[in-house]
Structure formats: C-alpha cells, structure tokens
Amino acid sequence: MTETITGTISRIIYSNEENGYTVLELAAEGRLDTDITIVGVMPPVKPGERLRLTGSWAAHPRYGEQFKATRCEQLLPATITGIKEYLASTLIKGIGPVTAERIVQHFGADTMRVLDEETERLREVSGIGPKTAKRIAESWNEHQGIRRVMVFLQGHSISTGLAVKIHKVYGNDAMWIVQRDPYRLVRDIRGVGFKTADGIARELGLSPDSPARVQAGVIHVLREQIQAGHVYTPRETLATQTSRLLSVPSGLIETAIEDLWHGDAIHCETLTFPAGDREEHAVYLTPFYYGEAGVANHLYALAESPAALPFHTFSTAEWEALWSRATRFVGVELSPQQRKAVYTMLTCKVTVLTGGPGTGKTQTVRTIIGVLEDMGLRYALCAPTGRAAKRLAETTGRKAQTIHRLLQYSRDGFVRNEENPLEIDFLVVDEASMLDILLTNHLLKAVDPSTHVLFVGDVDQLPSVGAGDVLRDLIASDHTAVVRLTTIFRQAADSGIVVNAHKI
C-alpha cells in the first residue's frame, strides 16, 4: 500500500554517489516514536533537509521495518525555526549555526527569497564579507538548482531514480535540455527508452511531427532490431516500422534518416551479396557499422599477413614426429579427422573448429595447446563469458579468461588494442557462438596480424545476446578455414545422451 511521509533527515547511513541509492533515518512528522529507516534512490541530500517521500513499508530480514521510497521531494522550510535549522545543517557551504542565526535574525521570514533572488544582500549581515557571501551564493544556487531540477522532472512523471540519473548527466541544465529536446534522453541516459521520452514530450506539448521525435523513433527501431540480434536493418523495413510506431508521413521518416546519417548517428550502406543477384540498402547505428567493417578488415589483415608459426614449412617426417608427441599430450591417439583439424589450425591464420557435443573439440584444443607448449610458443585461451572461461580452464587444465579480462577492460575502455596488441602467437576463442560483433571487433583489434586465431563453437548452440551471429557468418563467408568434427568420441556413438544432444 502506497503511503506518503514527511520529515527531516536525522542521519545518512549510506549513500551511493553513482546511482543515488540512499539509506537514511528520518524524523517523521506526526510520529513520536524513534526515527524511521528510509531506503531508495534519491537526489543528493544531507542531514537537516526536509523531505516528502512516497513509497511503501517492507520488512527487511536483517534490518527490520523500512520505508521503501519510490518518490522523493526536497521541501523548503516554512517557519523561522525551520529555516534556521535548514541553513545550520551544513547543506550550504559558508553557513554554520552562528551564521545561520545571524542571517535569519536579519531577514526573518524573507530569508529564503533573499537567498533565491538577492544574494548580494547577504553582506548586510554582520560577519559576512564579500568572499563568504560569494561562497554562500554559489553553494545555494547549486543546491537549489538540484532541487528545482528534481521538482521539474518528477512533475513530469519521471521517477526519482531516473531523475537522479538525468541530473547526474546534465547537472543543473537538465530542466532546459529536457524542455528543449526530451528525446535526447534516449541517446544520453542508459535505461531511458523512446516511450518514456515520448510521454514526457506529450506532457510538454511538443508536436508529434517534430524532427526530434521522428529521429528518436528511427533510433528506437534500430535499437529494437539490434536487441533482436540484427547488426543492420533494411531501409524499407526501418521506414515501415518507424511509420507504424509514430504514425507520421513517410517523407518525414526519410528526412530523419538522412539527417541522422549526416549527423553520424547512423550509417547507410548499399550491400551487394556474394552471388551478385541482389542489393540491400542497409541502415546501421554507427558503432555497429564500424564494428562489422572492423571485423572484416581485421580478418582480412590476419589472412593476408605472413604466419609467425613454422608449421607450414614442416616436412612429412616433422609432422609424424609431431603426431607422436601429440599422442602423449592427450593420452590417446588422434583420429585422422582430428589430425586434419590440428594440421589446418596450425597452418591457417584463421580457423573455425565446429561440431556437435562429444565430437572431440576439447580434445583437439588440448592437442593444439600441447603442441604450442612443446615448441615454446605463446598462446591465450578466452571465452565470451565467465562461465565459459571457467569451463575452458577446467577442460584444458590451463588458464582461461573472459575476453574482457584478456583485453584488460577498464572504465576507459580496453587496454589491449591496435596500439597495444596481445603478445601471443596463437589465440583460442571458445564458445564462439556467443560472440557479438562489437566484442569480436575489440578482440581482433588487439590481435597482431601475425597471430593465429582459432574460433571454437557449435553453431547449433544459443547465439549471442548481442547483435551479430559471428560464428555462423565466419563459417558461411568461405574466407575462413572451417573444420567440422562429426565423429562422436566422448561416449559410444549410439549413446542416448549424445544422440539426443545432436537432435536438440
């Protein structure tokens, strides 16, 4: 049951500056018992502030009864005593208890108006010089700016949590930006979708035919296509779906597409398919265009660069010696199919190893690792997810990492890149069916052109949650060596488990 509580903050127990999540104690008006615990996302608040909170009660298994706030309004005090306590609460830099007493004594009930409109008059107060008056004015304007922004945003059906995000990005300009172009929120604020921005625009009375709305609708449709796994959207499909979403003339949509292209938010490309029998007018969100082009260019560079490994020069005798040693690496003799697979991976710059459950992919990878270690060559094992990397480490007995960890991801991006490539001779990427186009581009950027790359995966497994079916496209490209393992080794070929696994 939703309830509204008003009170003054007694103590801040916890506050996360990044997301606004706060735990505080509130002296609630009309309650004579102990302070109540409030939890929720809030704007920056301090002890002494008066709040109006909307939410509901919940019982925490460890901390007991709490009020979960879904809406938070910062209130200004209305009485002389309240104003004095408010100013004395360290909210405003330059005002302590003594200075607060003097200010309120001088201006009385007019104090808040003076601080809002005539801060230069603070110098009338005994003990406040020009520097202190300036510091108080700046701090007051900053704090009240936050409050005004929050009041405006929440007044347009924006939750406190989202309002905090918006203020964190735009600061005290948030009100001006949202009034001018609420659709900018879709581009700039993670978690704000087109429908939220469109609702704000309607409340503000913006025209449904406005260029900003149509452009935001185009971006929204492209993002939905990306969530469905598509790197690009055919232009005709984009126009149809945007028209259905916005109910605007097609001419406005075409204009929006051209304007977004010229503004570099999207990229339009005419694709000619290998058979040469058809063309498609593709529209990309710009990062995905460069992601796809980057993957193609990096793969081409890998394929065309000389190999650093010596295997393509091996004689028959050297290969026979290698097969003999390989048997020791894995404890069993390799089948002819597996030998061919290992040969291909060691002599080709880019290889895909694919096959269903139990066909020997892991054993083949272990053989590759054994050969590389035997010859003192450098390698790395990686996978798209933590679970996949852990499984790879367990099955090979060697260190395996997520792609993000391998590339040393940080807030500033990937440390490993074209300027700082991985110092390895061979890269194994397991569970490659889970790769999306953007992550693959980052990975290949960090691979020196002399390196051999092996993608391992089963195209019949679940694809990536991101855009781009990279493994399937690699196999279909005809520009990558592909090894398909078909013979079942892990259990008897007629094992019900394996047979059913292949059926699924």
Residue 189's domain is classified under what CATH number?
1.10.10.2220
* Secondary structure (H, E, C), 265-301: CEEEEEEECCCCCCEEEEEEEHHHHHHHHHHHHHHHH
**105 and 28 housed in the same domain:** yes
pLDDT value for 455: 96
**200 and 253 housed in the same domain:** yes
**117 and 201 housed in the same domain:** no
**309 and 239 housed in the same domain:** no
**477 and 361 housed in the same domain:** yes
pLDDT value for 338: 82
Q: 135: alpha, beta or left, given left = phi > 0 and alpha = psi -120 to 50?
A: alpha
In the Cβ-directed half-sphere of 475, how many Cα atoms lie within 13 Å?
A: 17
Could you say which of 103, 127, 153 is where a domain stops?
A: 153
**68 and 35 housed in the same domain:** yes
Could you say which of 153, 185, 206 is where a domain stops?
A: 153
Looking up residue 31, the CATH number of its domain turns out to be 2.40.50.140
User: CA-CA distance, 19 to 460, in Å (whole number)?
Assistant: 39
Outline where 399-490 has alpha helix (H): 403-406, 437-445, 470-476
Which domain covers residue 51, as residue numbers?
3-153
**How would you write the pLDDT of the chain (504 residues) with one tens digit per residue?**
889 999 888 889 998 877 889 999 998 888 767 789 999 988 888 887 888 999 999 988 888 899 999 888 888 777 788 788 788 876 677 888 888 899 999 999 888 888 888 888 999 988 888 888 888 888 888 777 777 887 788 777 777 778 888 888 888 888 899 888 999 998 888 878 898 899 889 888 889 999 999 999 999 999 999 998 999 999 999 999 999 999 999 999 999 999 999 999 999 999 887 666 678 899 999 999 999 999 999 999 998 888 878 888 888 898 888 888 887 777 777 788 888 889 999 999 999 999 877 777 888 899 999 999 988 999 999 999 999 999 999 999 999 999 999 999 998 899 999 999 999 999 999 999 999 999 999 999 999 999 999 999 987 776 777 888 899 999 888 778 999 887 654 444 443 333 333 333
For residue 279, being part of any structural domain is answered with no
**111 and 193 housed in the same domain:** no
Q: Cβ distance 502 to 357 under 8 Å?
A: yes
Residues paired with 73 in a beta bridge? 52
Q: Cβ distance 348 to 474 under 8 Å?
A: no
For residue 15, being part of any structural domain is answered with yes
pLDDT value for 1: 81
For residue 263, being part of any structural domain is answered with yes
Residue 334 DSSP label = P
For residue 158, being part of any structural domain is answered with no
For residue 161, being part of any structural domain is answered with no
User: CA-CA distance, 495 to 488, in Å (whole number)?
Assistant: 9
Looking up residue 416, the CATH number of its domain turns out to be 3.40.50.300
pLDDT value for 267: 96
- The model carries a pTM of 0.74
User: CA-CA distance, 118 to 113, in Å (whole number)?
Assistant: 7
Residues paired with 474 in a beta bridge? none
Could you say which of 121, 153, 185 is where a domain stops?
A: 153
**310 and 448 housed in the same domain:** yes
**138 and 174 housed in the same domain:** no
Residues paired with 75 in a beta bridge? 50
For residue 468, being part of any structural domain is answered with yes
Measured in degrees and rounded to the nearest 5, phi and psi for residue 358 equal 80, 10
For residue 364, being part of any structural domain is answered with yes
**321 and 441 housed in the same domain:** yes
**53 and 125 housed in the same domain:** yes
User: CA-CA distance, 185 to 201, in Å (whole number)?
Assistant: 11
Of 17, 14, 61, nearest to 39 by C-alpha is 14
For residue 377, being part of any structural domain is answered with yes
pLDDT value for 39: 94
Q: 433: alpha, beta or left, given left = phi > 0 and alpha = psi -120 to 50?
A: alpha
How many domains is the chain partitioned into structurally? Answer: 3
Q: What angle do CA 174, 179, 182 make, to 5 degrees?
A: 85
**Buried b / exposed e across 394-404, counting CB within 10 Å, b at 16+?**
eebebebbbbb
**309 and 445 housed in the same domain:** yes
